[in-house]
Amino acid sequence: MTTSLDQAVETIAPKPGRLSRAAASVPGAIRSIRSSPGALSAGLGILAFMVLISLMSVIWTPYPPAATGVGPVSSAPSAAHWFGTDSVGSDVFSRTIAAGRTDVLYTVLVVVIALVVGSVWGALAGFFGGWFETITLRLLEVVQAFPALLMALFIITILGPGAINVILVVTIIPLPEFVRLARAEVMTKKNWQFAEAARMVGNRPLVVLFKHLMPNSWRPLLAYASVSAAWVCGNIAALGFIGVGIQPDAVEWGSMIARGQADVVNGAWWESFFPGMGVLLLAIGCQLIGDGIAARNRGEQR
């Protein structure tokens, strides 16, 4: 009896989109990517390429990325050193791909944490309303009044650098928007028929929220997650560039750009250029995925 009612609830629920239905099976997922708008597949392609290169750097880099003096100091790109060497004679190519590991990993971690925490927080605020919602909204307004990077820099001055602290301060930047989006989604959908039906069969409020409402609200959140990933990696690099990043000696794009900074006026462009390209590629990849998902959402609404 309950099962059939539950099924009824499922059928009343807004039709899951092409993406989610197709993604249920692996061949379906591949088909979905192939038939998806150019932006989405290009973005996923770039991201897959970066993840692949990063994984590869775990087992192989031409030279050890942290080692100094593996070649002449500040030499231009050559057959022996594809991206040249930096001011302490490290191989820029090895460092650039090894740094990809750090930056991609931290970007993904930060976005996932912000997505999960922000969605749950926003969903609870939108579902229950009341004082919890009021406090949440006021708090977001205050947090968003701070220019984003300045807020991160301010908190990191207080906490000090380090991996955990970097994750924490960079997460604060996209978090408010996730909370807002999740709240808005849940608020508009909590009185739709499928939610009403889910409540009527006797589900507890939290079950209605997390089993019925949230699965129907993830798409705008996911689109925002991809878009925000683009600035998250920029902000991680900015902290590294200033020298308050993950670790003083971590192989990371921002700190690589900082190391090459002094040599730029001498014309040694390769030391800073290639890590910057890494940030660009990762950010553009994430932007394209976000654009693709957003375009798909719009397409289905029509």
Q: Is 44 in the site for another protein (CB under 8 A)?
A: no
In angstroms, the CA 15 to CA 23 distance is 14
Burial 154-171, CB ≥16 within 10 A → b, else e = eebeeeebeeebbbbbbb
Q: Which one of residues 8, 51, 73, 151 is an interface residue with another protein (CB under 8 A)?
A: 151
**Binding residue for another protein (CB under 8 A) from 157, 196, 215, 300?**
157
Q: Which residues lie closer than 8 Å to 140 by C-beta, 6 or more apart?
A: 176, 179, 180
Q: Do the beta carbons of residue 122 and residue 301 sit within 8 Å?
A: no
- What's the min distance (Å) between Cβ of 222 and another protein? 19
Q: Counting contacts by CB under 8 A, is residue 279 touching another protein?
A: yes
- Assess 148 for contact with another protein (CB under 8 A): yes
In degrees rounded to 5, what are phi and psi of residue 91? Answer: -80, 120
CB 37 within 8 A of CB 295: yes
Cα 278 from chain centroid?
15
Q: 101-140: which residues touch another protein (CB under 8 A)?
A: 138-139
Asked if 149 touches another protein (CB under 8 A), the answer is: yes
Selected range binding another protein among 1-9, 58-66, 119-127, 226-234, rule: CB under 8 A:
226-234
Q: How far is the CB of 204 from another protein (least distance, A)?
A: 25
Name the residue nearer to another protein (CB basis): 59 or 142: 142
Under rule CB under 8 A, residue 241 binds another protein: yes
Could you say which of 266, 298, 301, 302 contacts another protein (CB under 8 A)? 266
Q: Does 244 bind another protein (CB under 8 A)?
A: yes
> Which one of 1, 59, 79, 150 is in contact with another protein (CB under 8 A)?
150
Q: Does 298 bind another protein (CB under 8 A)?
A: no
Binding test (CB under 8 A) with another protein, winner from 10, 141, 196, 300: 141
**Beta carbon of residue 36, minimum distance to another protein (angstroms, whole number):** 18
Contact pick of 46, 115, 223, 230 for another protein (by CB under 8 A): 230
Q: Which of 143, 167, 184, 222 binds another protein (CB under 8 A)?
A: 143
Exactly one of 71, 174, 272, 293 binds another protein (CB under 8 A); which one?
272
Binding site for another protein (CB under 8 A): 138-139, 141-143, 145-151, 153-155, 157-159, 230-231, 234, 237-238, 241-244, 254, 257, 260-261, 264-267, 269, 272-273, 275-276, 279-280, 283-284, 287
